[in-house]
Amino acid sequence: MLDRLTPRLERSVSDLAAKTAARVGRTRHDRSDGLPPGPGAPGPLQLFSFLYQPVAFLRASRATHGEVMTIRLPGLQPIVQISKPEHVEELFKGPARQLHAGEANSVLEPFLGSHSVLVIDDDAHLEQRRLLLPPFRGERMKAYGDTMRDATVEVLGSLAADRVVVTQELTQRITLEVILRTVFGLERRGKDDELVELLVATLRSLDDPKLLMTAFQHDLGPLSPWGRFLGRRARVRELLEQVIRQRRAQGGEGREDVLSLLVGATHADGEPMSDAEIRDELMTMLVAGHETTATALSWALYRIARHAPVRERLLAEIDAAFPDGAVDPARIHTLEYLDGVAKESLRVHPVIPGVGRVLKKPRRVAGFDLPAEVVVGCSIWLAHHDPDTWPDPHRFDPERFVGTRISPYRFFPFGGGVRRCIGEAFALYEMRVVLATWLTRWVPELVPGRHYATKRRNLTLSPTGGMPLRFRRRAA
Ligand code: HEM
């Protein structure tokens, strides 16, 4: 909703929500159900703060209730929130059969399909993961670098100097092109157009937070939001299955896209993946990999615009590596400071605020004996801003990542354990290739007087107003 407001009105609503969130976070409730204490404000008020001012709400709740707290939102199981490295380690190393992530992600099932690796657990989950991982490993994944660079050059071809642009629109166009080409093996031309338009429209349905709540998922005909979504979903599924059948008929020979590799993948019993499995995994990669990476890029560009010393050092590194301005993705791993900028940006602005696990058995977590069916939420945002782990946590300093390995229980923008993001290496590679290509041509600048803040946009923590920035053309 805030997307459609003018910047001024958006700022007022956001300020009001921030004040409410800070108050709501500081309210106190100790219930007799044995769960750790947490904010005690009425459910709808907590939900409003949680949705519209997630960062203010988390900060205030953490300040009042400490490192383990319970958040209670209407219509959902209580969420016991943890963020200390030792507690995160306990959770990520715990037995997957007793800690269901798929169940915690179940709101996504109507959008992704019941076979999606994100919404299933136990053996079925491990099996889908085994099938999906190979295209995202090492050399295989590196084959996508040229596509990442070329998509960036194409999209930035329309950029005009010194105009305020909504950066998120550009980053989303880039990451969408990258996923369509590398994962689906599609070109936005001719017969693929209807599928591409429908995929984009289906993605946009996720922007409406109401549609993620079962209370609003009623089919009242094709004019109702849910009815419209179901109609679109049926057509997308039909078209995707057509593409899968065609790819099977052609054979994946000579193709490097993820779909062609999945068509040739076999289950442990030798059976190929079914059309429905491949279809649901394609939707999963689109939803999980497109907006997340775009948002991460927008935040990184914001930080590069904001911190002159970081910008100068980064530009010097990129210019030294690619003096003729032609980015070679095969050499991107040599740019250590660029890697630090991408990671520090994901630390300060984690795109996904947290990950959840549903307890399938009573379990002691972070010193509390919790009953089965409670959701344990691992707050990425709180962990990344913990002053015990990150001195001066709000300071942006890419040096924190240069020449060191950081514990996966202190820095985990991609989650952890057996559920750790499949696209992590792909996303970090894409961030570096896109940023290097961008910065060889254009330098980002903040727009004076603009308000830069964080809001929740479906599953992500996104910049308000889509990150308005100006870009200065670099001398040839
Ligand atoms: C900056 C970009 C990205 C971020 C921040 C991100 C973050 C995450 C997070 C937090 C999870 C949940 C992990 C957990 O529960 O512990 C996840 C899971 C997943 N992500 Fe990503 N992701 C990104 C990009 C991608 C890309 C590019 C793809 C694929 C093309 C992808 C595919 C997946 C899949 C398939 C899962 C489910 C893994 C499982 O349940 O076993 N992600 N991601």
> pLDDT tens-digit profile of 129-174?
999 998 898 888 888 999 999 999 999 998 998 899 999 999 999 9
For residue 264, tell me if it sits in a domain. Answer: yes
Q: For residue 469, report the phi and psi dihedrals to the nearest 5 degrees.
A: -135, 160
User: How much distance in Å is there from the Cα of 372 to the middle of ligand 1?
Assistant: 26
pLDDT on residue 34? 81
Q: How far is CA 462 from CA 44, 186, 213, 350, 458, in A?
A: 22, 27, 20, 9, 9
Ligand 1 pocket, Cβ-based, cut-off 6 angstroms: 101, 117-118, 129, 183, 284-285, 288-289, 292-293, 296, 351-352, 355, 413-416, 419-423, 426-427
pLDDT on residue 472? 95
pLDDT on residue 2? 42
Q: What CATH number does the domain containing 279 carry?
A: 1.10.630.10
User: How much distance in Å is there from the Cα of 382 to the middle of ligand 1?
Assistant: 19
The bridge status of strand 363-365 relative to strand 79-82 is unpaired
pLDDT on residue 143? 86
pLDDT tens digits for 219-266? 888 888 889 889 999 999 999 999 999 999 987 677 889 999 999 999
pLDDT on residue 31? 62
Looking at the chain, the number of H-run helices and the number of E-run strands are: 18, 12
Give the C-alpha separation, 11 to 450, whole Å: 9
H or E element that contains 20: helix 7-26
Give the C-alpha separation, 46 to 23, whole Å: 10
User: How much distance in Å is there from the Cα of 160 to the middle of ligand 1?
Assistant: 33
Q: Is the pLDDT of residue 3 over 60?
A: no
Query: Atom 13, ligand 1: which residue's CA is nearest?
Result: 415
pLDDT on residue 113? 95
Percent of the chain with pLDDT over 90: 67
Question: In sequence order, what are the residues at sequence separation of 6 or more whose Cβ sits closer than 8 angstroms to the Cβ of residue 440?
Answer: 318, 319, 322, 325, 326, 327, 474
Measured from the Cα of 105, ligand 1's closest atom is: 15
Q: How many domains does the chain have?
A: 1
Cβ 416 vs Cβ 94: under 8 Å: no
Please choose from 421, 457, 458 the residue to mutate so as to test ligand 1's pocket, defined by most ligand atoms within 8 A of CB: 421
User: How much distance in Å is there from the Cα of 415 to the middle of ligand 1?
Assistant: 8
b/e map 335-357, b = 16+ CB within 10 Å: bebbbbbbbbbbbbbbbbbbbbb
pLDDT tens digits for 259-303? 999 999 999 999 999 999 999 999 999 999 999 999 999 999 999
For residue 189, tell me if it sits in a domain. Answer: yes
pLDDT tens digits for 98-136? 999 999 999 899 999 999 999 999 999 999 999 999 889
For residue 112, tell me if it sits in a domain. Answer: yes
For residue 462, tell me if it sits in a domain. Answer: yes
Q: Is the pLDDT of residue 312 over 60?
A: yes
For residue 4, tell me if it sits in a domain. Answer: no
pLDDT tens digits for 33-91? 789 999 888 888 888 888 778 888 898 899 999 999 999 888 788 899 999 999 999 99
Give the C-alpha separation, 46 to 67, whole Å: 18
User: How much distance in Å is there from the Cα of 310 to the middle of ligand 1?
Assistant: 28
User: How much distance in Å is there from the Cα of 293 to the middle of ligand 1?
Assistant: 10
User: How much distance in Å is there from the Cα of 24 to the middle of ligand 1?
Assistant: 30
Rounded to 10 deg, the angle between the 308-321 and 424-441 helix axes is 90
pLDDT tens digits for 403-422? 999 999 999 999 999 999 99
C-alpha R_g of the chain? 22
pLDDT on residue 137? 86
Query: Atom 36, ligand 1: which residue's CA is nearest?
Result: 421
pLDDT on residue 76? 80
pLDDT on residue 53? 82
pLDDT on residue 119? 97
For residue 33, tell me if it sits in a domain. Answer: no
Give the C-alpha separation, 315 to 471, whole Å: 14
104: tokens are 């915690």
pLDDT on residue 346? 98
Question: In sequence order, what are the residues at sequence separation of 6 or more whose Cβ sits closer than 8 angstroms to the Cβ of residue 19?
Answer: none
More confident residue, 100 or 206: 100
pLDDT on residue 250? 84
User: How much distance in Å is there from the Cα of 287 to the middle of ligand 1?
Assistant: 9
Q: How far is CA 403 from CA 270, 291, 406, in A?
A: 43, 29, 10
For residue 181, tell me if it sits in a domain. Answer: yes
pLDDT on residue 458? 77
Q: For residue 372, report the phi and psi dihedrals to the nearest 5 degrees.
A: -65, 155
- The whole-chain average pLDDT of the chain stands at 90
Give the C-alpha separation, 466 to 409, whole Å: 30
180: tokens are 């369509």
Residue (of 197, 166, 167, 168) closest to 180 by Cα position: 197
Residue (of 228, 147, 241, 237) closest to 187 by Cα position: 147
Tallying the residues shown for the chain, one arrives at: 476
Measured from the Cα of 132, ligand 1's closest atom is: 35
For residue 20, tell me if it sits in a domain. Answer: no
Give the C-alpha separation, 408 to 428, whole Å: 15
441: tokens are 């041509």
Segments forming the whole domain that contains residue 392? 77-473
Measured from the Cα of 428, ligand 1's closest atom is: 1
